[in-house]
Amino acid sequence: MSARFPRRTAAMCALLVAATGLTACNGLTPGGGTKSAAPSGPVSTALPTGNATLTVVSSENAGTTKALAEAFHAKHPNITVDFQYTGPDDYDKSLNLKLSSDDAPDLALLNKLGTTVKGNLIRDLDPYTQAYGWDTKYPSSQLDQWRASDDGKQLGAGHLWAAPAGFSVVGVYYNKEIAAKLGIGVPKTRAEFEAALAKAKAAGELPVQLGNLQGHSSFVVQSIVDSVDGAAKTSDWVNGKQGSTVDTRGGADAATTLSDWAKKGYLPEGANGTDLPGSVAAFTKGSGLFLFDGSWDAQVIDKAAPGKVGFLPFPGADAASKATGIGTSVAYAIPAKSKNPDLAAAFLDFMNTPEAAQIQFSTGFLPVAHADQVKAPEGNVMNEVTAAWGKVNTDNGLVNFFANTDATMNDTLTSQGQQLIGGKTTPDAYLAALQADWLKGHQ
């Protein structure tokens, strides 16, 4: 993960793992085999009438959870939220031990499910989903990222084990000044997008800014796969559904397109030696009509190029195509040994309110819901990011990162993407390598 976002400090590691869909900094190993009966049975949405304390453990240090805790306390003064922060270097290593102890917290941030499900360390949230109606409040693509089978092996389906607290999404930033100079409108279709690339190249502008030192060409590839094959089919592959393959119409389109863009000079020379921050810096200085990147860089981009950048979901075949986006969330689970599971569930439900949406947005995340009710200052690119996020949710188009499908996929995406751009492999061989990695990871 740190390789993808080297400018972020180690203290942000766990947060970014969850927010950007990267593989974890450290595995959840200690205590993973501990067996404790995962409770089930009747649940309640009623809050305590007397004084109560909700204990929350987390490695999230953007201030989101702490602000949500303060807002929840303000709404329910008899409830104190004891927010306990642990640095990411220690958090994942110690989490399973915390969950299995007799002094387990009431809520715990998860960077991934790891062995928590298999070890019966967290509660099945299905009863709360039904009690609060979460399945009607959240797009299914949001919740499905935290569903898994009882053994935790099959992701994307089965019981719900955690609820999201804030999201990130990958889309396409565009330089408004270059677009206006060349008479290019916001592309509404794939054909318009490709035409914009050709027009930029003919005018001497770089069509697509890219830093691929850490494999961010995967954003280009996955954006095309998601768009062509659809979120549901692509999610099956990311979630390791048996029989899935990336060698699809969308996969072939994506690999061929990336190769073609490199051959046509649509990508910067030296892309394989440039990291993401380097490409972002170049883009904000006017190098590139488009940049495939995530919402986590929106404020950096807007600060460097205020009012000059827009954002859109990667366009589909026609203007009516469903919007898709790459993304995932920070999420919280209720430990099996929580002493206040009903209160913990009430806090999770609070994360889905308009008040929580503003808190999530103001602390750097896209809101779980109510994206239409949050707003950045006029002209800030975050307003376009939020609008795109709303479209993706409306169309149920969120897909977890390819890099998250197994422990080694990010390395494969990086090495194979560099070879494809460098002309040292073919689109077919690129897809074959990704599928071979997937098969190895999901056997």
Computed from CA positions of residues 157, 162, 166, 168, in that sequence, does the dihedral angle turn out positive or negative?
negative
- DSSP single-letter state for residue 50: S
Provide the pLDDT for residue 141.
Answer: 81
pLDDT of residue 40: 57
Of 172-186, 348-362, 415-429, the one with minimum mean pLDDT is: 348-362
Residue 170: DSSP 8-state: E
Residue 367 has phi, psi (to 5 degrees) of -70, 150
For the chain, how many helices (H) and strands (E)? 18, 11
Report pLDDT digits (tens) over 336-390: 999 999 999 999 999 999 999 999 998 878 988 888 888 899 999 999 999 999 9
Q: Quick one: pLDDT at residue 137?
A: 87
3-class state of residue 84 by DSSP: strand
SS3 for 320?
coil
The pair of three-digit structure tokens given for residue 76, joined into one six-digit string: 């329910």
Structure tokens at 136: 């009607």
Cα→Cα distances 202→1, 207, 276, 354, Å: 37, 10, 26, 46
The per-residue pLDDT for 38 is 52
How far apart (Å, rounded) are the C-alpha atoms in residues 205 and 198?
Answer: 10
With cut-offs at 50, 70 and 90, classify the pLDDT of residue 41.
low
Mean pLDDT across the chain: 89
Q: What is the mean pLDDT of residues 115-130?
A: 94
39 pLDDT tier (thresholds 50, 70, 90): low
**316: closest CA among 220, 190, 223?**
190
